[in-house]
Amino acid sequence: MSDMDSLFLRIIARELPADIVFENDRLIAIRDINPQAPTHVLVVPKKRYRNAAELAAADPQLLAELITTAHDIAAQAGIAESGYRLLFNTNADAGQTIFHVHLHLLGGEPLGGLTG
Ligand code: 5GP
């Protein structure tokens, strides 16, 4: 496992710092270090799956919890009504850089078209 692969595991283990928004036994939510919108949070299962499809196949309930957690964070940030975007990048063409599945929550301003 490369450093980039294990980045979230190291954050979960408190070996690296992060701005933690929410945490429970199953997942952690942290602010993205390079935010692409006023609210940019990554919701990450503590168990490592490479991508959303692997997570969906192994634990659909946890996938659903990622989504409901992202909604709760959006609501707390006051952007659930104005709107937000959830996305998973999968592999190189999508720009996935960390091969530990993470749900991006983006919002806090009009986000433009699907490709930003
Ligand atoms: P991906 O491109 O894999 O979908 O998303 C990876 C995200 O992780 C990027 O948006 C990037 O800015 C973020 N990121 C990379 N390194 C760190 C870090 O050390 N801490 C935090 N909080 N986010 C990071």
Q: For residue 12, what pLDDT is reported?
A: 97
Which residue shows structure tokens 């009504």? 81
* pLDDT surpassing 60 at residue 116: no
Q: Is 32 in the pocket of ligand 1 (CB under 6 A)?
A: yes
Domain 3-107: give its CATH code. Answer: 3.30.428.10
Tell whether pTM > 0.90. yes
Set 40, 71, 100, 102: catalytic member:
102
ipTM (interface pTM): 0.99
Sign of CA dihedral 29, 36, 78, 83: negative
Q: Annotated catalytic, 104?
A: no
- 89 C-beta closer than 6 A to ligand 1: yes
Radius of gyration over alpha carbons of the chain, in Å? 14
Q: CA–CA separation, 116 vs 82, rounded Å?
A: 17
The pLDDT, as a whole number, for residue 44 is 98
**The residue count for the chain:** 116
CA 51 to ligand 1 center in whole angstroms: 14
How far, in Å, from the CA of 24 to the mean position of ligand 1?
Answer: 20
pLDDT digit string, tens, across residues 25-48: 999 999 999 999 999 999 999 999
For residues 9 and 7, give the distance between their C-alpha atoms in angstroms, rounded to a whole number: 5
Has residue 49 got a pLDDT over 60? Answer: yes
- Identify the pLDDT of residue 6: 80
